[in-house]
Amino acid sequence: MSLGSNAKAVCNRLAGTFAGGLLQVIFKRVCERLTFYDEASRMSLSKWTELLAELSVYGNSEDVERLNQADLNAFEAQNDLRLPQDYKYFCQTFGTCKLGDFISVYCPTKYLLYSQEDIDGMIEQIHMFSSIDSSQRDGNYIQLLQSSFEFADNGIGAIIFWDLRTYSEVDDSYDIYWAGWEIPESEDPVLIGRDFYEFIKEFCLGQQSYKVLPDPEISCPTEIPMSVEWFR
């Protein structure tokens, strides 16, 4: 579908295809916000609405928690943090949710702030089990964690975070890492990319996780659930 110069019309047309359902409620809210953006931003935001339209939806409308641009700007100011623009578009379109089989992505709500405690726990554990042989590795990992910001997890022992030292204005993003929080003293973090949209589409909803995080006991499935589930 071509967005061209009619991003708002595309959004409204998508909303009309979900008459009476949860997605129609979501799309109406997003379409209203498009009025406040320039055309380039409308096109970027619309790619998220198009992705959402491809997914199976679970949850009630009461569970859908989204933030507007003002909320996100306030969070950045309060926490001295620059959020990638695509992440902010995601939070205005999807909101905090579970994608595919297992990955939950958190927008600036209570879940996001609570999840930062995982980082502190990992640093403490590395300190506790560090040895002379692993001191350089552990020191580098601790520096990475001290400069990180968690925004997602898989619910069974792994977190996903940005390395805030790696921001670039060229792509308005950071390096994205996957790390196990249960035994950080013996498992190294894995760099999984930078592009947030590709992270959602290919890692959370595609097969990239099986390629980037190889596990000899788990084969890559031929199909990944294209689904989104909302929670508070």
Domain shared by 106 and 155, yes or no: yes
Mean pLDDT, residues 9-19 taken together:
56
**Is there a domain that residue 61 lies in?**
no
Q: Give, in order, the Cα–Cα distances in Å from 100 to each of 21, 112, 203, 224.
A: 20, 19, 10, 7
Task: Give the helix, strand, coil percentages of the chain, each rounded to 5.
Answer: 45, 20, 35
**CA nearest neighbour of 175 among 156, 195, 205:** 195
Please report, in angstroms and rounded to a whole number, the separation of the first and last CA atoms in the chain: 32
Is the pLDDT at 24 greater than 70? The verdict is: no
Q: How many domains does the chain contain in total?
A: 2
**pLDDT winner (highest mean) among 42-46, 55-59, 169-173, 213-217:** 169-173
For residue 60, what are its two tokens? 């009630």
What amino acid occupies position 155?
A: G
**Domain end position, chosen among 32, 54, 76:** 54
CB within 8 Å of 169: residues ≥ 6 apart: none
Query: Which helix (H) or strand (E) segment is 179 a member of?
Result: strand 173-180
Mean pLDDT, residues 39-56 taken together:
82
pLDDT tens figures, 63-74: 666 788 899 999
Q: How far apart are CA 53 and CA 69, in angstroms?
A: 22
Angle 85-93/39-53 helices, nearest 10 degrees? 50
Q: Tell me how crowded residue 28 is: count the other CB atoms within 10 A of its CB.
A: 14
Q: What is the CATH number of the domain that holds 71?
A: 3.40.1580
Mean pLDDT, residues 136-152 taken together:
93
* pTM tops 0.75: yes
Of 214 and 229, more confident: 229
Domain shared by 49 and 71, yes or no: no
Q: How far apart are CA 159 and CA 192, in angstroms?
A: 12
Domain shared by 103 and 166, yes or no: yes
Domain shared by 71 and 44, yes or no: no
Of 146 and 41, more confident: 146
Minimum mean pLDDT range among 95-99, 181-185, 213-217:
213-217
Q: How far apart are CA 85 and CA 11, in angstroms?
A: 19
* pLDDT, the chain, mean: 82
Q: How far apart are CA 232 and CA 109, in angstroms?
A: 9
**Is there a domain that residue 70 lies in?**
yes
Minimum mean pLDDT range among 98-102, 129-133, 179-183, 203-207:
129-133
**Is there a domain that residue 216 lies in?**
yes
CA dihedral 32, 35, 40, 46 (to 10 degrees): 10
CA 120: distance to chain centroid? 20
**Is there a domain that residue 175 lies in?**
yes
Structural domain containing residue 138: 66-230
* Percent of the chain residues past pLDDT 70, beyond the cut: 75
Tell me the pLDDT band of 200, cut-offs 50, 70 and 90. very high
**Is there a domain that residue 95 lies in?**
yes
Domain shared by 135 and 198, yes or no: yes
Q: How far apart are CA 167 and CA 164, in angstroms?
A: 6
Domain shared by 150 and 199, yes or no: yes
